Amino acid sequence: MRQVTTSDLLLLQTRVIASLILREARATFGTSAFGYVWAIITPTVSVGLLVFIFSIIDRQPPFGASLALFFATGILTLQFFNELSGKLMTVFDANRALLTYPIIKDVDTLIARALLIGATYALIMVVFYTALVVLGLAQFPAHPEHIISAFLATWLLGLGFGSLNTIIFSLWDTWAQIEKILTRPLFFISGVFYVPSQLPPQAREVLQWNPTLHLVEWFRHGFYANYNSSILEFWYPISIGAGMFLLGLTGERLFRKTRF
Amino acid sequence: MLAFKDVSKSYRIKGVKKTILSNFTFEFPKDRNIGIMGKNGAGKSTMMRLIAGIEPPDAGHIFRSPQVSWPLGFSGGFNGSMTGIENIRFVSRIYGQDTKRVIEYVRAFAELGPSLRLPIKTYSNGMKARLAFGLSMAIDFDVYLIDEITAVGDDDFKKKSQAVFKDKLANSQIIMVSHSAHTIQQYCDCGLLFEGQTIRFFDDVADLLAAYKELNR
């Protein structure tokens, strides 16, 4: 009898995840290509509107020449993170029926959804930032490679926090409300409206523990030639994200039996 | 090999513990069709889910080297807002099948006609069952798990299903849950009986049916 090798299993899992992404895309965006266009337009416009409102209130950009770019680096990054942490929370419940097919595992549905959200936000960011550059509201990024790494780090942190959320939510569904309360202040403590490096040292001391602050800083570091963040630590959000993801996977394994 | 080794499984629903299996060890005989019988709620469907690998056991090991189907006969895995074709496509993708071939097979077999292009939520139960049955027959499994498949469709369709099924049995094995003595007799040659706390194996299907009759007296 032929032994099943690790590469067989990886191939199987890749196949399953790819099929799940297609299915999820179909379920989320509908049949027409226009559904996907809406999925791109809606967040783009809502971020655009927020940026517009903030730029009316505050005429002087906290950094650089463009208010729009400064706020966008904060708001889009947080929105991407929130989308992952929120949508991943319910992924096990939403896909319960799929487990009828034994080759689909809970973790596959988690990864498939995270990849689809990642791909969607990659497109949203490309559209949004390109629009800013075209409209003359931003310069071409000074370090594009840093924007890509910042994006990936945001995805990892969202995946990590999202998978922890999934596990906690599957054990205790009040967590959905608590998570909302806990993540609400992120908007104010992630440097959306200010340059964290210019804060008084006491404030920086506390805020630097917030990993999403580092992500916002990372995006700005990618866009501006001389942002010179005194807080940004590349490895901090990556380690927190990877750590939480591992913890989430461990939780999935440990509490698998209680979910059935 | 398809085998249970020291498998325990219980459920706790609102503080009431229900034991389905405790330290159950059994090797499913190869190339034989096995019927599983027992009263409602005895744990037959749970056993199917354990064999399929949908649920993990509380303790013990389940060894599964053949390619086992999903427990067939209920259409829980279909997405209601997606069309028949889209659901077929999804299942053939995850099982690494040629999507076109599977769609053609199901189209010819399930006789759903243009309804295949409609969302599943518009289907009747009979249509769903035909789709589910056709879909599972389109994919070659070593072991087919059949959970109380009530014969679906009209007589023509029943005949067709039986013919395909007999054809499949030449190369595959079935494990079937049913309350119908007739169905079990038709397809199985040995079986397991859930009798309260114990599970007994019968090498001969006639003995299984006799014991099942006794149990229900």
User: 3-state secondary structure string, B38-104?
Assistant: ECCCCCHHHHHHHHHCCCCCCEEEEEECCCECCCECCCCCCCCCCEHHHHHHHHHHHCCCCHHHHHH
Chain B: residue whose CA lies nearest to A104: B94
- Report for A151-155, B7-11, B164-168: range of highest mean pLDDT: A151-155
pLDDT of residue B75: 61
Mean pLDDT in residue range A55-81: 86
Tell me what ipTM this predicted complex has: 0.85
Of A222 and A46, which is predicted with more confidence? Answer: A222
pLDDT of residue B19: 86
Task: Give whole-number Cα distances, B78 to A250, A260, B143, B150, B157, in Å.
Answer: 30, 20, 21, 18, 21
* Interface contact A260-B56, CB threshold 8 A: yes
pLDDT of residue A82: 94
Mean pLDDT in residue range B137-150: 84
- Average the pLDDT over each of A28-37, A86-95, A219-228 and give the range with the smallest value: A28-37
Note which residues in 48-87 of chain B have CB less than 8 A from chain A.
Answer: 52-56, 58, 65, 68, 70-71, 74, 76-79, 81-82, 86
> Is A63 a member of any domain?
yes
Choose among A12, A16, A27: nearest Cβ to B79. A27
- Average the pLDDT over each of A31-45, A114-128, B118-132 and give the range with the smallest value: A31-45
Q: Domains plus CATH for chain B?
A: 2-69+178-215 (3.40.50.300), 84-174 (3.40.50.300)
Separation of alpha carbons B150 and B161, rounded Å: 12
Mean pLDDT in residue range B93-122: 91
Confidence band of A114 (pLDDT split at 50, 70, 90): very high
Cα A73 to chain centroid distance, Å, stands at 13
Residues A8, A14, A19: CA angle, nearest 5 degrees: 130
Least Cα distance to A61 among A220, A195, A188 occurs for A195
The helix/strand/coil state of B173 is strand
Q: What percent of chain B has pLDDT over 70?
A: 95
Check if A254 contacts B (Cβ < 8 Å): no
Task: Give whole-number Cα distances, A165 to A159, B5, B68, in Å.
Answer: 10, 34, 32
* Interface contact B76-A100, CB threshold 8 A: yes
Residue B74 has pLDDT above 70, yes or no: no
Check if A100 contacts B (Cβ < 8 Å): yes
What global pTM score does this model have? 0.90
Whether A237 contacts A212, CB under 8 Å: yes
pLDDT of residue B100: 95
Mean pLDDT score of chain A, rounded to an integer?
90
State the amino acid at position B162 in one-letter form. Q
Mean pLDDT in residue range A143-154: 97
State the amino acid at position A187 in one-letter form. F
Shortest Cα distance, chain B CAs vs residue A245, angstroms = 22
Residue B24 has pLDDT above 80, yes or no: yes
Choose among A15, A16, A99: nearest Cβ to B54. A99
Shortest Cα distance, chain A CAs vs residue B207, angstroms = 32
For residue A257, list chain B residues with Cβ-Cβ distance below 8 A. Answer: 56, 58
Q: Per residue, what are the HEC states of B8-22?
A: EEEEEECCEEEEEEE
* Interface contact A257-B58, CB threshold 8 A: yes
For chain B, the helix, strand and coil percentages under 3-state DSSP, each to the nearest 5: 40, 30, 30
Residue B148 has pLDDT above 80, yes or no: no
pLDDT of residue A2: 63
Residue A224 has pLDDT above 90, yes or no: yes
Residue A1 has pLDDT above 60, yes or no: no
Least Cα distance to B146 among B183, B111, B106, B92 occurs for B183
Of A1 and A142, which is predicted with more confidence? Answer: A142
pLDDT of residue B150: 58
Choose among A27, A256, A257: nearest Cβ to B82. A27
Separation of alpha carbons A52 and A42, rounded Å: 15
Residue A31 has pLDDT above 90, yes or no: no
pLDDT of residue A137: 87
Domain residues for the domain of A18 are 6-259
- Average the pLDDT over each of A14-18, B47-51, B181-185 and give the range with the smallest value: B181-185
> Is A1 a member of any domain?
no
Number of domains in chain A: 1
Confidence band of A211 (pLDDT split at 50, 70, 90): very high
Query: What Rg value do the Cα atoms of chain B yield, rounded?
Result: 18
